[in-house]
Structure 1
Amino acid sequence: MATSGSERRGIPAAAFVEDVQTFLTTTGSDATSALNTLQERRQQYKLVEMKLLAQQRDLQAKIPDIKKCLETVEALLAKQGTGEATIVDFEVAEGIYSQARIEATNSVCLWLGANVMLEYSCDEALDLLKKNLDNANAGLGAIVEDLQFLRDQVTITEVTIARVYNWDVHQRRKLRQAEKDV
């Protein structure tokens, strides 16, 4: 009998097959078609895994940038009201840095993506960056959990493939032996 759990964020749970004969009878398929279906499911899981790993890499690259921006805004807020200028190094292009002198300011500009930059007050920018960091960390945590769930489903599917294949080999041997005995 096949037992299955529930899906997680659109990823269907794999059914663990305890009894291959019952599984094939209830699905109305033979071993070959069941193996093909299971192989397709395994490929789908692998495709989803690749997409999740890409999302994980993107978030892992984005989090340090958000932290860096957050530190910069916090430094600007700390200097606010002192009348002191802040000297910062910033990246002009990849690997090329320059220094800038920032006079006391009440606002900063943040890149939002898609070539969009908006000006925020330092307090608003701080809140936005903290929210973005929290969201990125939460998203990364969810992706890690999804990957673990997915790896479990791949393992269950591979075990089921092995069980169906072994059952099929055993059935073919029994059939050959029965033909020899006749």
Structure 2
Amino acid sequence: MAASSSSADAIGTTERRGIPAAAFVEDVQAYLTQSGLDVNSSLAFLQERLQQYRVVEMKLLAQQRDLQAKIPDIEKCLDIATTLQAKKSAGEALIADFEVSEGIYSRACIEDTDFVCLWLGANVMLEYSCEEATTLLQKNLENAKASLEVLVADLQFLRDQVTITQVTIARVYNWDVHQRRLLKTTALKDS
């Protein structure tokens, strides 16, 4: 049911975020006439479009994997910043184990801290107050989750376009086979 409703949405859509929509071809003869292509050129065009969809799909899947790996990291950092704030408010020290080197850990006692350092990427670390860090991490988490939702919708749209294109390729190919059989049958009857 969901696939048919999203396919119906795709029919009315010309593109989604730069991904062109595939048109479902009901009448192959009319499609070939309108496009001005012969069967082989049409099939080549459709195969090329299918390949383009596959390339975009690979890029979107890589982005999805990156976001899915990033979200738990942001959540852990947010949890740590929140815990630091809670311990400070309660007047307690935080006992934490941290990795010094691969497989080597040390224990630290963090008492009454107002600041945390966050890695921003590209070997850049900045110091923030616990409140600023919590706000920043919460915003980053919301943005990452929103981006993931958009990415999942893009992937679904793309999969629908791949399916429509594959069906169109099969329809054009089958129409061509049928036309060749008709010509062959007509030629046999005439001779």
TM-score range (shorter-chain normalised) is: over 0.9
The answer on 1:63 being equivalent to 2:86 is no
Aligned to 1:100: 108
Query: Aligned runs of 1:16-165 on 2, under 5 Å?
Result: 16-93=24-101, 95-165=103-173
TM-score for the superposition, normalised by structure 2? 0.89
Residue identity in the other structure for 1:12: P
- The Cα offsets for residues 88-107 of structure 1, whole Å up to 9 and x where unpaired, read as 12233455433222121111
What percentage of aligned pairs have identical amino acids? 69
Q: 1:78 to 1:155 in 2, by over 3 A?
A: same
Question: CA separation in 1, counterparts of 2:88 and 2:12?
Answer: 58
8 A contact 1:4–1:15 mirrored in 2: no
8 A contact 1:5–1:15 mirrored in 2: no
- The Cα offsets for residues 134-167 of structure 1, whole Å up to 9 and x where unpaired, read as 0010011111111111110000000000000000
8 A contact 1:79–1:86 mirrored in 2: yes
The offset of 1:44, in angstroms, is 0.7
CA RMSD of aligned residues (A): 1.4
Q: Relative to structure 2, which stretch is displaced further, 99-108 or 86-95?
A: 86-95
- The Cα offsets for residues 41-89 of structure 1, whole Å up to 9 and x where unpaired, read as 1111111111111111111111111000000000100112444321112
**Secondary structure in 1 matching 2:127:** strand
**Secondary structure in 2 matching 1:87:** strand
Q: 1:180 to 1:141 in 2, by over 3 A?
A: same
What is the aligned length? 180
Q: Mind listing any 5+ residue stretches in structure 2 that lack a counterpart?
A: 1-10
**Secondary structure in 2 matching 1:80:** helix
Question: CA separation in 2, counterparts of 1:30 and 1:95?
Answer: 64
Question: CA separation in 1, counterparts of 2:68 and 2:43?
Answer: 37
Pick the structure with more helix per residue: 2
Question: CA separation in 2, counterparts of 1:36 and 1:99?
Answer: 63
Question: CA separation in 2, counterparts of 1:156 and 1:93?
Answer: 52
Question: CA separation in 1, counterparts of 2:102 and 2:176?
Answer: 58
